Amino acid sequence: MLSLSQVSKSYKMKDGMYQAVDTVSLEVGAGNIHGIIGASGAGKSTLLRMINLLERPDQGTVTVDGQLLTEMPDKQLRKERQKIGMIFQQFNLVNNMTVSRNVSIPLELAGLTKSERMKRVKECLSFVGLEDKVEQYPAQLSGGQRQRVAIARALANSPKLLLCDEPTSSLDPETTAEILDVLKHVNASFGVTVVIITHEMDVVKSICRHVSVMERGRIIDSFSRDEGEFRPAAGSFGSYRDQIFSKAGEAHV
C-alpha cells in the first residue's frame, strides 16, 4: 500500500548538512497499523512528512496506493494527497472556525458542494461521536474531543492512508485509550492503513501490528505482531526489544 524506497532528507545547518533521514526503505501493507518509534530527533516526523511529500525527499521514491508520488506533477499530487489524512499531537485545528467548518475545510478544497459537505461533515462527526459539538469552537472542547475533530477532518475525503504524528502524546491515559479505540475503529471499519509515530510503548502494544524503530535517521529494527503476539523480524535486536518482549519471543501485549 505504502512503499518508501531509499528515501533521504538532509537539512542545511550553519556547520554543514544534517542528515535527518538516511536511505530508509519501508513497506506497509494495505489495512495495516504500523508504528514508528525512536528517540527524539531520530527523524520520525521527517519520515512521516515525506510519505505525503509535505517534505520532499532529496532522493528515493514514495509510492502510495500504486501511485509514484515522487514523480508526479503538482496538480496530480494535490489530488493524490486527498487520499492521505494526517493528524498531529497538537491537533492543528483552526481556532476561529467551528468544529463543522474545521471538518469541512478539506471538502471545500476538494470542490464538494455545500450540501455534499454538510452531509459528509455530519457523517464524520458522528463517526467520532461528536455530532452534538458541531457549532462549538476548538477552545470549548477537551483535548480528546479536539483530537476527535482532527480525526473527523482527516477522514473527510475518505482517505486510504492515515498518518499520525504522536496523536496521543498530549492526552491523559484514559483519553489516549479512547483515541486509540477511534483509530482502531477507523482501521477496521474502512480498511484505512495507519502509520503512527509514538513515544508510548502502550500505544504500540495496543494497536500496532508492525513496528519500526528509528535511530539517527535510519530504521534499525522492526517487529511484527504475529497471531496476537509481537515477534521480532528475523535478525532484529534493538534497544526497544526488551520493552516489547518480556522474554525472548514472549510478548506482553
The number of beta carbons lying within 10 Å of the beta carbon of residue 183 is 24
Q: Which residue, 40 or 113, has its beta carbon nearer to ligand ATP? A: 40
Q: Which residue, 48 or 162, has its beta carbon nearer to ligand ATP? A: 48
Using alpha carbons, select from 8, 109, 2 the residue that is nearest to residue 65. Answer: 2
Query: How many residues would you count in the chain?
Result: 253
| 121 scored as a contact of ligand ATP (CB under 6 A) | no
Q: Which does 40 bind (CB under 5 to 8 A by kind): ligand ATP, Mg ion, none?
A: ligand ATP
Task: Answer for the pair 23, 43: CB distance below 8 angstroms, yes or no.
Answer: no
CB of 21 to ligand ATP, least distance (A): 7
Under rule CB under 6 A, how many of the chain's residues touch ligand ATP?
11
CB of 180 to ligand ATP, least distance (A): 19
**Which cell numbers in the block locate residue 148?**
476527535
Choose one: 33-41, 135-143, 152-160, 188-196; the region binding ligand ATP (CB under 6 A). Answer: 33-41
CB of 252 to Mg ion, least distance (A): 26
Give first-to-last CA distance, the chain, whole Å: 26
| 45 scored as a contact of Mg ion (CB under 5 A) | yes
Q: Which residue, 141 or 162, has its beta carbon nearer to ligand ATP? A: 162
Q: Which residue, 45 or 198, has its beta carbon nearer to Mg ion? A: 45
Residues 40-79 that bind ligand ATP (CB under 6 A): 40-46
Question: E strands within the chain?
Answer: 2-13, 16-28, 33-38, 59-64, 67-68, 84-88, 161-165, 193-197, 210-215, 218-226, 229-232, 245-247, 250-251
Q: Which residue, 34 or 117, has its beta carbon nearer to Mg ion? A: 34
What does the per-residue mask of binding to ligand ATP show for 11-30, with x meaning CB under 6 A? x------x-x----------
Using alpha carbons, select from 239, 170, 244, 246 the residue that is nearest to residue 208. Answer: 244
Nearby residues of 172 by Cβ (< 8 Å), 6 or more positions away: none
**Which cell numbers in the block locate residue 74?**
503538482
Query: Residues in the site for Mg ion, rule: CB under 5 A?
Result: 45
Query: Residues in the site for ligand ATP, rule: CB under 6 A?
Result: 11, 18, 20, 38, 40-46
